[in-house]
Structure 1
Amino acid sequence: MDKNKNKEEKKTDKNSKTGMVYLTGAGPGDPELLTLKAKTVLQEADVIVYDSLISEEILSYAKDGCEIIYAGKRSSNHSLPQYSINELLAEKAKENKVVVRLKGGDPYLFGRGGEEAERLFKDAIPFEIIPGISSSFAVPAYAGIPLTHRDYASTVAIVTGHEGEHKEKSTINWDKLSGADTIVILMGHKNLDSIAKNIISSGKDKDTPCAVIQEGTTLNQKAAAGTLATIKDEADRHGLKSPLILIVGNVVKLRDILNWFEKRPLSGLKVMVTRAEGQAGTLIHRLKRLGAFVMNLPLIKAVKGGSNIDRAKIHEAIKNIKDYDYIIFTSVNGVSGFFDEFFLKGLDARSLFGKKIISVGKVTSLELKKYGIVPDIIPSEFSQTGIINIIKDTELKGKKILFPQALKINAELPEFLISRGAILENLPVYETVIPEKSKEEIYEIFSSLITTKGNGAKRVHKNIGLPNDLSLSSFVVSFTSYSTVENFVNLAEGIQKGLLKRITGSGVKFASIGEKTAKYALGFGIKSDIISKDVNIDSLVDGIVDFYRKNKI
């Protein structure tokens, strides 16, 4: 046998290897309803082909370098026709890539997943189906409507409200479907009036309770209830649009007592979270659980080792670490910025023996523990003021104190230490910049306040990830530090001179963490409607809830 020929054949086989396609359900809209398996394949994918109702949060699971292709279809507006999507999946798989076809709901329930699977089978391309939570039952559940109930319904029918455009006439047998106790119609907005009339003409009482739900399970969810005779008018009166689900049956009567999603304390409220990138998780989680629509727009991005950071100075401080009596940390970035350099020099926690470590609070302390450091002092008030209060009776004269920090910080603590005779080494280990994406989104949010020569700016949302209703009277901007205040002001005035004044006079509410942040904001003309009692995230959230308990959203 010719060994060289055999090697060449093996090489050819390897190059012609086919990849894998996962036809994946993304669920009904709420990113937390994505399945674990769907998340896993998204993180492994080389290519993601996604539909119009997929949130940015779900797409964020994609790995760096993943090719993300939009293939959305909304009613008659198709970015890619179905046959082109089928060919695209096959083409990408033949490039030996892991492909995720990401669909709203479930791929095999009115998702055309069957057609895509048939195309893959034709070319012997391996595929798997990852079911998703279907909007057919998830959306009614979020609207307080169980599809079955011992007193009301034992049978359920699920119907498409938008049949294939290639059909000359409808193939839906309404006469048989009308016998079901509960009927769920998906994608029915365009044909809502004719659907209701078909169900009535097939035997359902015109007074049968109905509900229509727009963008169910998301924080854009809106709903209206009525009867078969009135539901089209109710949907129009509430301004409901696609994507929309219609539920017909007596189970709709239960909505009045079982509607939990729309009755949470902060439902209808939009909150801009401005904390630094990667540090807003706790705040976002709590606000979402309470029903708020959270826009994560960090106004701070920590940059370590930038051109403005003097690494030689950091290395000199580390070299002389034995000379310091105290080391103070007031941020997560201060901890990582210092210890990343510290450990690179071959040192470890033993080098800090005898030093008093001061941490501003719980989150900073948790970051210290990652490096094997347990702080000696943590104030009850998580702020520079809290540190001052806890060490104000300590003899500091002649004590050498190292303070790893941002390039620009609040001078309150440094001034106190120097006034008490301490020998202070302010050590910038990172600087903060404004993320570009936040600049763009803040422009979009406040575009209605931006004066133009024409009729004003028009907002165009890229996908379902942003709120449809951006009424500024139900909008809160949160400030968690001096930097978030200052960067917000600079962004607003950078977009258009005078925009800040228009924002503060538009009905937007402002929530500040602690009196000092509120006072700093007031210096720019921003009056805080909500001021947390304590300087921590839980207190800030409690303050927002208390405010809207007294003031209707």
Structure 2
Amino acid sequence: QARGAAAGSSDIDYAALARLPLVAFYMGIKSLGRICAKLIEHGQPPDTPAAVIQWGTMPRQRTVTGTLADLPQRVIDAGITAPAITVVGRVVSLREKLRWFDNRPLFGQTIAVTRTRQQASELSAALEALGANVIEAPTIDIVPPQNWDEVDSILRSLGNQRSPDAQTPDWLVFTSTNAVEIARRRLLEIGLDARVLAGVRIAAVGQATARVIEQLFCIQADLCPEEFVAEALADALQARGEIAGRRFVLLRADIGRPILVEKLRQGGATDVRDVAIYHTRIVDALPPAFLDALAARSLDWITFTSSSTAKNLAALLGADYRKRLTGVKLASIGPVTTATLRDLQLEPTIEASPHTIEGLLGALSHGPAARE
């Protein structure tokens, strides 16, 4: 490696460097023209492959390739500035064979994740693995209910199935991974565990919810419809003849849509208890990194994984949210979230299919790559 080139120092032995098969100049972008001229002057062929890499290994990495003769002008034309490294040698000609970092489907895209802080890391890590520059901008906080009495009563009743007076549910319904995680934690806090679920049928909305049930309780959901919405669960129960005369407990967020409860009651369920095992709250403010990227028009995508994320983002941005979001592409996880976006007069660019995080990642990977 060669140092001191940026300062134009005269103690660099360019004659020795010109004989080496590979030379890397750290920084020195301002002196690139002089560096290339000196190497040519001391015997390096003008057509020697050379490259400049700005922000190497970062999501905003940019690379310009050429030869010693034309690289300085190519760098000027591309607007490359520090920090950057210059590589000179035949290895540069292997770039098309070796490159992988900037070939990833979301490379160079800046994507905002609006999920809760607790859930954002999984999606963020997956997006970064696909090359994206991720800004976490949670719009929702998850908080426990003010009083656990109703939840605790239901959880304890699950273990009293042998009692003739027990009013235990036939079906326990989880509509989100959050509900499953909080239910398990609360069971342990009151001295119970997954054994209380023996004999109770479990329904899940979404494969992600079903997976967490399996991971945390070591049981498989008895029912998980292919379409990941509450209406599909009601339809699947009806098709099985599992609504009329049955008791249901729904453990979910306080803002759960009423459609599932309505369909169960219309289908003749004996009892439907809709229990808020957690509450969602809008966050106090959006992070500065998100607001700065939005103002600079450097934000490519915003992901929405629930109706709440869409509603809350609009509220946090203020009355002119539509104007502020102009030019930013919107990614919806499914039809319910899409309907909410459209109610807000925001048209999603893509909708995940299937309606999961994996489906959302797939839709983003194959979606429009450039800012519109």
Could you say which TM-score interval applies, normalised by the shorter chain?
0.7 to 0.9
The answer (yes or no) to whether the contact 2:333–2:351 under 8 Å persists in 1 is yes
1:507 and 2:327 correspond? yes
Q: Equivalent residue for 1:401?
A: 248
Give the structure 1 partner of residue 264 of structure 2.
417
What is the correspondence of 1:242-257 to structure 2 with a 5 Å cutoff?
A: 242-257=82-97
> Cα gap change, 1:190/1:542 in structure 2, threshold over 3 Å: closer, same or farther?
same
Match of residue 149 from structure 2: 312
Cα gap change, 1:350 to 1:259, in 2 (>3 Å): closer
Structure 1 position 263, deviation (Å): 3.0
Q: Is the 8 A contact 1:266 1:292 kept in 2?
A: yes
- Corresponding position of 2:232: 386
Which residue does 1:526 correspond to in 2? 346
Q: Report how many aligned residue pairs link the two structures.
A: 361
- Is contact 2:329-2:371 (8 Å) kept? no
Tell me if the contact between 2:305 and 2:332 (Cα under 8 Å) persists in the aligned partners.
Answer: yes
Structure 2: distance between partners of 1:350 and 1:385: 29
- Aligned to 1:233, what secondary structure does the other structure show? helix
- DSSP-derived class of the 2:119 partner: coil
Q: What CA deviation, in whole Å up to 9, does each residue of 1:232-274 have, x standing for no partner?
A: 2222211112110001123323334543333333333322222
1:330 aligns with 2:175: yes
Give distance in 1, aligned partners of 2:332 and 2:230: 16
Which residue identity does 1:295 align to in structure 2?
Answer: I
| Separation in 1, partners of 2:133, 2:362 | 16
Aligned to 2:191: 346
What are structure 2's unaligned runs of at least 5 residues?
161-166
Deviations along 1:325-361, one digit per CA (max 9) or x if unpaired, are 2111111221122232222222233323321111223
- State the match for 1:547 in structure 2: 367
Give the equivalent residue in structure 2 for 1:481.
306
- 8 Å contact kept, 1:299–1:487: yes
1:29-428 equivalence runs, <5 A: 158-161=1-4, 170-305=10-145, 309-321=146-158, 322=160, 323=167, 324-369=169-214, 370-393=216-239, 394-422=241-269, 423-428=271-276
Shift of 1:185: 0.8
TM-score, length-scaled by structure 2: 0.87
Rounded Cα–Cα distance in structure 2 between residues aligned with 1:169 and 1:266? 40
Distance (Å, rounded) in 2 between the aligned partners of 1:184 and 1:435: 47
Match of 2:164?
none
In the alignment, what sits opposite 1:432? Answer: 280
Counterpart CA distance in 1 for 2:121 and 2:227 is: 21
Any gaps of 5 or more consecutive residues in structure 1?
1-157, 449-469
Counterpart of 1:77?
Answer: none
Could you tell me how far apart the structure 1 residues matched to 2:17 and 2:285 are?
48
Distance 2:3 2:227 in 1: 56
Query: How far 1:485 moved relative to its partner?
Result: 1.0
Counterpart Cα distance in 2 of 1:366 and 1:256 = 40
Deviation at 1:179, TM superposition (A): 0.6
1:536 maps to which of 333, 356, 361: 356
Q: 1:434 deviation in Å?
A: 4.2
Within 5 Å, give how 1:464-479 maps onto structure 2: 470-472=297-299, 475-479=300-304
Letter in 1 for 2:138: P
Q: Residue 161 of structure 1 contacts residue 195 of structure 1 at CA under 8 Å; is this kept in 2?
A: no
Tell me the residue number matched to 1:139. none
Residue 441 of structure 1 corresponds to 289
Q: Per-residue deviation at 1:437?
A: 7.2
Shift of 1:276: 2.6
The answer to whether the 8 Å contact 2:142/2:278 transfers is yes
- Any conservation in 2 of the 1:310–1:428 contact (CA below 8 Å)? no
Whether contact under 8 Å (2:173, 2:248) holds in the other structure is yes
Alpha-carbon separation, structure 1, partners of 2:190 and 2:323: 51
Higher normalized contact order (CA 8 Å, seq sep 6+, divided by chain length)? 2
Q: Secondary structure at the match of 1:357?
A: strand
Equivalent pair of 1:271/1:478 in contact (CA under 8 Å)? yes
Q: What is the alpha-carbon distance in structure 2 between the residues aligned to residue 439 and residue 416 of structure 1?
A: 40
Amino acid at match of 1:514: G
Cα distance between partner residues in 1 of 2:77 and 2:340: 44
Q: C-alpha distance in 2, partners of 1:161/1:530?
A: 49
Partner of 2:163: none
CA RMSD of aligned residues (A): 2.7
Three-state SS of the structure 1 residue aligned to 2:44 is coil
Cα distance in 1 between the residues matched to 2:110 and 2:203: 36
* Deviation, structure 1 residue 395: 3.9
**Alpha-carbon spacing, 1:175–1:330, altered in 2? closer, same or farther (3 Å):** same
Equivalent residue number for residue 490 of structure 1: 315
Taking the aligned partners of 2:141 and 2:125, their CA distance within structure 1 comes to: 20
Structure 2 residue matching 1:378: 3-state secondary structure: coil
Q: Percent identity among equivalent residues?
A: 30
